[in-house]
A and B are shown apart, each in its own frame.
Chain A
Amino acid sequence: NAGVTQTPKFQVLKTGQSMTLQCAQDMNHNSMYWYRQDPGMGLRLIYYSASEGTTDKGEVPNGYNVSRLNKREFSLRLESAAPSQTSVYFCASSEPRASGNTIYFGEGSWLTVV
């Protein structure tokens, strides 16, 4: 029972390089998210996809792009990495309901930009 799977787990980039973080979920959830987590800042939403075919900006979208490839997959791209993007990135998915919204997280991707 994989849940939310993201790759790679660790990556070191040079300033200006590009890369894509991949995420897939097997829970048949409609909604997917990318968060970043920095010390003392909590989890901040970068982009989200309410359903297949839609994407929207979160709190901190600058420097990132996303693609909702299909219902299972949601990728995050850094076009020109900057040291300020050094962080832990979490992909997540959920099935929002009127009663609430339990979000399930992947294991995280540790990204260092030097």
Chain B
Amino acid sequence: QKEVEQNSGPLSVPEGAIASLNCTYSDRGSQSFFWYRQYSGKSPELIMSIYSNGDKEDGRFTAQLNKASQYVSLLIRDSQPSDSATYLCAVKSPDSWGKLQFGAGTQVVVTP
């Protein structure tokens, strides 16, 4: 079982709709969670981090964390064609010092 799992997609979302991405992780002691966006041919860039249970909002992005169920999600509201990218979930476990475990990513395609 992979430590961080994501649906590979592609997730097709109409422009203006909400894109919902999910990520599950296996280490119950994990404390820090990150969402990276990666455009084709480019490097990953951090868009959200979340450390506590609940929701965290930043512009059109909302990260949701449920440690009891071991999942973290990302909502993209009012999806735009520029949101078309692969979204990587990353998890830091308490015993892994600064290292992150990455999921394989979910490809999002926003259609006009």
Q: Which of A41, A90, A103, A107 contacts B100 (CB 8 A)?
A: A103
A58-B99, A96-B97 are known contacts. Are A40 and B43 too (CB-CB below 8 A)? no
Inter-chain CB contacts under 8 Å: number: 55
Q: Is the CB of A101 within 8 A of B104?
A: no
Q: Which of B32, B42, B49, B88 contacts A43 (CB 8 A)?
A: B88
A54 CB to closest chain B CB, in angstroms? 11
Q: Is the CB of B45 within 8 A of A43?
A: no
A29 CB to closest chain B CB, in angstroms? 10
Q: Which residues of B contact A111 (CB under 8 A)?
A: none
Q: Is the CB of B49 within 8 A of A102?
A: yes
Please measure, in the bound complex, the distance between the C-alpha atom of A46 and the C-alpha atom of B111, giving whole angstroms.
Answer: 36
* Chain B facing A: main interface SS: loop
A43-B88, A58-B99 are known contacts. Are A105 and B44 too (CB-CB below 8 A)? yes
Range of interface residues on chain A? 20 to 34
Q: CB within 8 Å of B: which of A88-105? A: 90, 94, 96, 99-105
Please measure, in the bound complex, the distance between the C-alpha atom of A35 and the C-alpha atom of B43, giving whole angstroms.
Answer: 11
Q: Is the CB of A42 within 8 A of B104?
A: yes
Please measure, in the bound complex, the distance between the C-alpha atom of A51 and the C-alpha atom of B99, giving whole angstroms.
Answer: 13
A105 CB to closest chain B CB, in angstroms? 4
A42-B104, A100-B32, A101-B92 are known contacts. Are A107 and B42 too (CB-CB below 8 A)? yes
Q: Which of A41, A43, A94 contacts B98 (CB 8 A)?
A: A94
Which residues of B come within 8 Å of A, CB atoms?
A: 4, 8, 32, 34, 42-46, 49, 51, 88, 90, 92, 97-100, 102-105
